Amino acid sequence: MSQFYLSPCKSLFRLVFRIFLSIFVAIGLLILLVFALFPRCFVILLAKIVSPTGFGEILDGISNVFGVNANLTTMVFHWRVQGVPDLTKIKEDFTLKILNCRDSHNKLRYPELRQSIISWCGFLFWKNVPNFELSIRLILPLSFDLYSTQGRSLLINMSELGWKFGRQVLWEIVLIPVQSGEYFDIIFRYHHALGDGVSILNLFSNVTHPDLVGQVVPPKMMGRGLACTKSCQNWAFISTLVMIPYDLAAYVEAQLISLFSTDVFSAIDRNTSGFSGRISYAPSLPPISFSTMKKLANENNISLTTFMYHCLTNSVRKAALKRGVSPSADILVNFPMLSKDHPDKMRNIIEENSATRMHLIKEQLENLGNSAIPWVLGMIGSLAACQLPVILRTMLRLNNRLRANFTFTNFSWNRLPITMFGFPVLGMNGILGGTHGTKVIAMGLMTSCDDVWLSMMGDSGYIGKNVVDDIVEGFYQ
């Protein structure tokens, strides 16, 4: 582990740099807070006065606003289920159990399913769609399998379709039967903003977010015990507030270093140049056993989450070595994790010894779990989306440039249903639109019962189809 050692002089410089960066981050957070609270409250109040029944809540999350403006960021999930599709029954089940589901106050639990997005005074609102119709349809059987190359292209094309904001709901379900009648395919397509709607987020969270071993937790405040004095609790609160800009500064520092370092995907696919505007996409087939993964994690005395990241780094490393690329100190694998010497230890594919690399990932996840990053990033997204329109447009342009210049390797884990509308699930995969034209590499792990599927995607001019195929295949070896 000597390759991760920092000299005292370098450590001192990094500490001073991060402290100054923390000050700038803290000032930025205060500006976001001041310019968010008053405009948001005022515009919501004014909207209720002008149109008390037509507007919902202002959209939260910078990703929503970016997606609406750029007409990007569409999610596509594909399930293969056993049986013959009954359109009438599926519509009835969806209407009864989800669309018309009400809470204890007799209010709709998921109103966004009947709504679209409009812009008013520069802010974005949910608004009821006129002449709403259930967006579920049955089409004729296809001449190809959705797991084939043609099937991949169809899913990619669906992720790139636009939306009619203000006139169309931001979701649709497509049912595709096969001639044999043994199974049929369900495609669920929706705009990213729908997934961040407050009520829909609760629906998705109940279905798709598993409780992970080693899951990220809120930052620990010192002195939470019963014997802790009032002054001790106050000090713990202050120390937590100080930790927020410091942890964010560490995250920003890592992203800045990634801008000046060679990322592993650029090193692997040296023949590509620029962005293609199309997506390379690889779904895993067949699945791997979830219980087997748990067993392997237990044998290595690590969390399941650590084991997942370890499998990914192994797979990326093998893809690099296969192409004659030797992982070195200037090649960065940018999983967004924190550690004491964050930018150095993020280069975790350098380490040849598998056990050492596993230990580094475990340490990164532990530091991330004790940091302010997980929940503060969500807070910043909400504050950013509530800014005055002129500030927001500036932030959106900046965000667009960042996505094109910085390497973001996103890894999400979703638990999906064992059955869909009463039909047993046989297989699944999914794709995230909005990665083309950027250096965003998205990887999604999906589980159902004891089956685990992995998918990976990114701009084909940045990471080629053969690379994503190799990385997904290598994850299971």
- 245-289 per-position pLDDT tens digit: 887 887 787 777 777 778 888 888 766 567 887 888 888 877 888
Q: How far apart are CA 187 and CA 166, in angstroms?
A: 23
User: Is the separation of the CB atoms in 237 and 219 below 8 Å?
Assistant: no
Residue 226 — very low, low, confident or very high, per pLDDT cuts 50/70/90?
Answer: very low
Q: How far apart are CA 319 and CA 338, in angstroms?
A: 25
User: Is the separation of the CB atoms in 397 and 404 below 8 Å?
Assistant: no
CATH class of the domain whose range is 2-33+243-474: alpha beta
**Residue closest to 428 by CA, chosen among 76, 186, 79, 77:** 79
Average pLDDT over residues 63-67: 62
* Average model confidence (pLDDT) across the chain: 79
Average pLDDT over residues 129-136: 91
Q: How far apart are CA 51 and CA 42, in angstroms?
A: 14
Check whether 223 has a pLDDT greater than 60.
no
Phi and psi dihedrals of 334, rounded to 5? -100, 70
- Would the pTM count as exceeding 0.95? no
From residue 135, alpha-carbon distances to 62, 86, 202, 230 in Å are 26, 15, 21, 55
Average pLDDT over residues 36-56: 75
Give the number of other Cβ atoms within 10 Å of residue 331's Cβ. Answer: 20
Give the number of other Cβ atoms within 10 Å of residue 279's Cβ. Answer: 27
For tokens 């402290």, the residue is 19
Average pLDDT over residues 119-141: 87
Model confidence over 381-401: pLDDT tens digits? 777 777 777 777 787 777 778
Task: Return the pLDDT at 169.
Answer: 92
Give the number of other Cβ atoms within 10 Å of residue 45's Cβ. Answer: 10
- Could you tell me where in the chain the CATH 3.30.559.10 domains are found? 48-208
* Angle at the Cα of 203 from the Cα atoms of 60 and 288, rounded to 5 degrees: 110
Task: Return the pLDDT at 92.
Answer: 93
Model confidence over 274-329: pLDDT tens digits? 788 788 888 887 788 888 888 988 898 888 888 888 888 888 889 889 988 888 77
Fold designation for 48-208: Chloramphenicol Acetyltransferase (3.30.559)
Task: Return the pLDDT at 53.
Answer: 67
Task: Return the pLDDT at 258.
Answer: 72
Task: Return the pLDDT at 172.
Answer: 95
